[in-house]
């Protein structure tokens, strides 16, 4: 006989609200409306399946009332009348990032780690000063950039880890392709502390958007201020912190002095040509270049908003016309989804017997020992 569960209707409705899955698909799979109106009760197995489909931890569905679900970091997301309820997917990636950061902090403290001097070092600096410090620390001066936009993103991730930070760049929850992150909900966040600062970039956005998000989250670290946002180079920002971080990010990618020098030979050309050439030089997106031209006043626009919108439409058409790409090799993507520094530390600590294999696999979102072994081999950390 199946065991029926008394689930509070308001909790079930809340689970539908915070789920990133399409509500109609969940309703077609479960008799959730009947559960909510009280004409039926779910079996234990059905409720467990419902939890998995919504992304809500099963234990929450047994509560008498909907939980007060809040973000563990300041919420700087813009464009909403009121801050939206965080989705189950957002809470999941935040919780995992915090667990990874806590593990790594204890790991390096046991090895004698001391506070990283760059965390919070630019709290009183101007955006130009802060950006210069970030570029110098990361070896990211304009003349040091090269390769593709993907190479630029890789360079930023690796160099932040090289100076002591942690990074996560992923588009999904726990390597689950059925739980893709929504770039309109958030594009990145920074968990700032002086031993193991962590930046997260939602890769379910354009590559150029990811580069801007990374620069923005680095600004949070140098300011010493955690936060989550949906960064857009055009948005002026309601928060002073977000305005500062956006200005720093723009200056990191497109330094004003370099922009003036490189713009002069192009001044007579049409806007699209100018944007493409400068984006190539600075290894960032045309929208960031456009915002920098407007921010510095180097090029004037009769209607900047209309120009920006036109460039967005042009980029959308280009993206729609380009060939779609596959997800790539799982093991090649893992160092970005987990962070290479954390991966190597976890593998070494596990092989030396200090961290259990189950904990390491959980922190790296792995489900099989063979995956762990192959990943360790690919990293050269076995």
pLDDT of residue 314: 92
3-state secondary structure of 1: coil
The dihedral built from the CA positions of residue 288, 292, 294 and 300, taken in this order, carries a sign that is negative
- Same domain, residue pair 369 and 220: no
Q: State how far the Cα of 138 lies from the Cα of 162, in Å rounded to an integer.
A: 8
Higher-confidence residue of 3 and 141: namely 141
The answer to whether position 134 is within a domain reads yes
Per-residue CA distances from 122 to 125, 219, 294 (Å)? 5, 9, 24
**Residue 380 binned pLDDT confidence (cut-offs 50, 70, 90):** confident
pLDDT of residue 317: 85
- Same domain, residue pair 30 and 142: no
The answer to whether position 53 is within a domain reads yes
pLDDT of residue 363: 97
The structure tokens listed for 221 are: 């670290």
pLDDT of residue 327: 57
pLDDT of residue 4: 87
The answer to whether position 295 is within a domain reads no
pLDDT of residue 1: 58
* Number of structural domains found in the chain: 3
Torsion of CA 7, 11, 12, 18, to 10 degrees: -150
- Same domain, residue pair 245 and 335: no
What is the rounded average pLDDT for all residues in the chain? 91
3-state secondary structure of 357: helix
**Residue 382 binned pLDDT confidence (cut-offs 50, 70, 90):** low
Contact in structure between 129 and 122 (CB atoms under 8 Å): yes
pLDDT of residue 22: 86
Domain limits at 115?
89-253
pLDDT of residue 201: 97
- Same domain, residue pair 105 and 57: no
Final residue belonging to a domain, choices 236, 253, 270: 253
**Residue 81 binned pLDDT confidence (cut-offs 50, 70, 90):** low
Final residue belonging to a domain, choices 226, 253, 280: 253
Tens-digit pLDDT profile for residues 296-330: 999 999 999 999 999 999 988 887 765 445 556 78
- Same domain, residue pair 99 and 225: yes
- With 0-12 CB in 10 A as exposed, 13-18 as middle and 19+ as buried, what is 24? exposed
The answer to whether position 284 is within a domain reads no
Mean pLDDT calculated for residue range 259-278: 95
- Same domain, residue pair 117 and 234: yes
Q: State how far the Cα of 30 lies from the Cα of 16, in Å rounded to an integer.
A: 12
- Same domain, residue pair 31 and 137: no
Q: State how far the Cα of 254 lies from the Cα of 337, in Å rounded to an integer.
A: 27
- Same domain, residue pair 100 and 249: yes
The answer to whether position 306 is within a domain reads no
Predicted model pTM: 0.92
Mean pLDDT calculated for residue range 72-86: 79
- Same domain, residue pair 150 and 190: yes
Mean pLDDT calculated for residue range 137-165: 94
The answer to whether position 347 is within a domain reads yes
- Same domain, residue pair 56 and 108: no
pLDDT of residue 83: 64
Tens-digit pLDDT profile for residues 191-223: 999 999 999 999 999 899 999 999 999 999 999
The answer to whether position 346 is within a domain reads yes
**Residue 235 binned pLDDT confidence (cut-offs 50, 70, 90):** low
Final residue belonging to a domain, choices 235, 253, 271: 253
pLDDT of residue 188: 96
pLDDT of residue 84: 74
Higher-confidence residue of 24 and 120: namely 120
Per-residue CA distances from 141 to 132, 145, 163, 282 (Å)? 9, 7, 16, 9
The answer to whether position 151 is within a domain reads yes
Tens-digit pLDDT profile for residues 2-53: 778 888 999 999 999 999 888 888 988 999 999 998 889 999 999 999 999 9
- Same domain, residue pair 54 and 136: no
Percent pLDDT > 90 in the chain is 78
Q: Is the confidence at residue 87, as pLDDT, over 80?
A: yes
**Residue 103 binned pLDDT confidence (cut-offs 50, 70, 90):** very high
- Same domain, residue pair 138 and 247: yes
Tens-digit pLDDT profile for residues 338-368: 999 999 999 999 999 999 999 999 999 999 9
Torsion of CA 265, 271, 276, 282, to 10 degrees: 60
Q: State how far the Cα of 313 lies from the Cα of 331, in Å rounded to an integer.
A: 35
Mean pLDDT calculated for residue range 132-144: 96
């Amino acid at each position: 006989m199946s065991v029926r569960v008394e689930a509070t209707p308001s909790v079930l409705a809340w689970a539908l609200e915070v789920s990133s899955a399409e509500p109609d698909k969940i309703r077609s799979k479960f008799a959730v409306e009947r559960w909510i109106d009280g004409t039926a009760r779910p079996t234990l197995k059905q409720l467990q399946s419902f939890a998995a489909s919504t992304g809500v931890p099963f234990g929450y569905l047994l509560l008498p009332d909907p939980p007060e679900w809040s973000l563990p970091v300041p919420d700087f997301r813009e464009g909403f009348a009121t801050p939206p309820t965080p989705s189950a997917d957002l809470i999941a990636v935040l919780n995992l990032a915090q667990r990874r950061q806590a593990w790594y902090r204890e790991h390096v403290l046991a090895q004698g780690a001391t506070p990283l001097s760059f965390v919070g070092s630019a709290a009183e600096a101007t955006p130009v000063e802060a950006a210069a410090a970030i570029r110098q620390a990361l070896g990211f001066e304009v003349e040091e950039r090269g390769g593709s936009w993907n190479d630029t993103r890789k360079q930023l991730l690796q160099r932040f880890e090289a100076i002591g930070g942690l990074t996560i760049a992923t588009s999904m929850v726990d390597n689950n392709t059925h739980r893709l992150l929504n770039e309109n909900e958030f594009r990145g966040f920074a968990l700032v502390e002086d031993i193991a600062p962590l930046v997260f970039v939602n890769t379910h956005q354009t590559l150029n958007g990811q580069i801007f998000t990374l620069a923005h989250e680095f600004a949070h670290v140098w300011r010493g201020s955690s936060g989550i946002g949906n960064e857009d180079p055009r948005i002026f920002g309601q928060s002073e912190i977000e305005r500062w971080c956006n200005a720093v990010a723009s200056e990191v990618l497109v330094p004003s002095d370099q922009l003036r020098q490189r713009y002069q030979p192009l001044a007579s050309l049409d806007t699209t040509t100018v944007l493409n050439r400068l984006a190539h030089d600075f290894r960032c997106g045309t929208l960031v270049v456009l915002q920098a031209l407007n921010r510095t006043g180097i090029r004037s626009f009769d209607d900047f908003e209309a120009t920006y919108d036109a460039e967005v439409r042009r980029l959308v058409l280009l993206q729609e016309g380009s060939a779609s790409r596959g997800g790539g090799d799982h093991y090649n993507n893992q160092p970005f989804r987990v962070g290479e520094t954390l991966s190597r530390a976890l593998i070494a600590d596990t092989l030396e017997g200090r961290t259990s294999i189950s904990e390491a696999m959980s922190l790296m979102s792995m489900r099989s020992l063979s995956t762990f072994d192959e990943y360790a081999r690919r990293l050269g950390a076995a």
